[in-house]
Chains A and B, each alone.
Chain A
Amino acid sequence: MTEDKILLTARYAEGDLNEDESAAFETRMQSDEELQQHLKDYQHIHQSLKMQLANDANDERFKNTLKGLNKQYFRDEPKVISFKPALKWLTGVAAVLIVGLLVWAPWRSNLYEKYANNGQMLVTERGAEATTDLDKAAALYNEKNYSAAKTILEKLYVKEPANAMLGYYYGLTLLETTQLDSGRKVLTQIYTGESVFKYDSAYGIALSYLKEDKKAECKTWLQKIPKGTTHYQQAIELIEKL
């Protein structure tokens, strides 16, 4: 009996019954729980099997979608580089060293040399007829023999303290020979006066402070140099670097 029912259910489900037989099956099923269960089982088994066997084009497409995403989410991720503890320490130490180096900045000592007043002392107003003391001083100054130039300029400056040019170069030679305070005093006088050397003097003073690594003072003096003067561009650059 059971065997008949299973086959009957299969034929019903597969549309192998004719119309009358089919209608009779449905009527019978309403009161026959066994048939109801057979039909359920049939559909369950049929679909489960279909799931395993079908693999149609859509299933393939779906699996391809998964494959693509698998690559993205399980494989092609950027690897997080994890340092070993020792390496971590090393990088820390290296970072500290670099920061320290930036603060200490040994190459900064070159700033003075880079921005130092390497201008030539020009004595244009003099004629060529005789070599004066001023000419000698200028020659020595230009040869960077500052102490010899200083000796001559000092005498001339004492004679003509109002001569801004003499004062300016005398001041610079003082600075170059590390008589910073007296040099600054001379230059400050020129700065407070009115002459073409006014702002050149300010620049000289600023650099004298740079030489001593007194950055704040250096800055203050650099900031006194207005736009349009000889040393303005240098002053701006130097302020930035400080």
Chain B
Amino acid sequence: MAKAVHPDQRYLTALITNDTGVVNEIYKKCAGKVKSFIVFNNGTTSDAEDIFQEALVDIYNQAKYKNLQLTCPFEPFLLLVCKRKWLNELKKRSILPVTKNEDDLLHIGEDTFEQAELLEQQQEQSTLFLKAFEKLGERCKEIIRWSMQGDAQEKVAEALGVTYGYLRKKKSECMASLIKLVQVNK
């Protein structure tokens, strides 16, 4: 069974509902820490800004579209996500980080590590899925892209100038092709 959801799930809810007050609270608590970590590790304030925003958008997306359930406290989770993101960025720029990966993270619980790891995996996978999607035919791409925009598939069919039945059939086929593409690449 899945682990119990942490009360800090409220932060994810706040992200999804765009609760500015709570999002501000998140910034107040964490922005400074992320900034000092990144600036200390060969980054700039602007890098920190990008990383922080990316992390929040990732968490928002996972919570909204993939029903991410937080099983650890939010703050260390967010900080860890930002750190991992920055360390990956440093790898890309081939700069050695000043702080070792684990040294300053010893006090962080295992749950937090797992959750951050999972978030990263999910993000990586979704990038792979997007690449596979790009390989589909134009018609498939169009149908999938449109159907992803809103939940009312009838309206999507109308916008595409097809029947709802045709949309369902075509989308199923396109998605099946996509899944096969993903599995071939595995």
- Chain B hits for A9, CB < 8 A: 176
The number of chain A residues with a CB under 8 A from chain B is 38
Per a CB cutoff under 8 Å, which of A41, A46, A48, A61 touches B18? A61
Chain B stretch 10-57: residues in CB contact (< 8 A) with chain A:
15-16, 18, 20, 23-24, 27-28, 31-32, 35, 45-46, 48-49, 52-53, 56-57
Interface residues of A, dominant DSSP: helix
- Chain A hits for B48, CB < 8 A: 74
The answer to whether A49 has its CB under 8 Å from any CB of chain B is yes
Structural contact, B179 and A41, CB atoms closer than 8 A: yes
Structural contact, A7 and B173, CB atoms closer than 8 A: yes
- Chain A hits for B24, CB < 8 A: 69
The answer to whether B115 has its CB under 8 Å from any CB of chain A is no
With contact pairs A45-B179, A48-B66, A52-B130 given, residues A65 and B173 touching in the complex (Cβ less than 8 Å): no
A3-B176, A13-B175, A14-B175 provided; 12 other pairs, C-beta below 8 A? Answer: A45-B175, A45-B179, A48-B66, A50-B148, A51-B62, A51-B64, A53-B133, A58-B16, A62-B15, A63-B53, A63-B57, A75-B49
Interface residues of B (CB under 8 A from A): 15-16, 18, 20, 23-24, 27-28, 31-32, 35, 45-46, 48-49, 52-53, 56-57, 60-62, 64-66, 122, 125-127, 129-130, 133, 144-145, 148-150, 165, 168-169, 171-173, 175-176, 178-180, 182
The contact sample of 16 A-B pairs, CB cut-off 8 A, is A10-B176, A42-B175, A45-B182, A46-B175, A48-B65, A49-B133, A53-B144, A54-B65, A54-B149, A56-B150, A62-B16, A62-B60, A65-B23, A69-B31, A73-B35, A75-B45
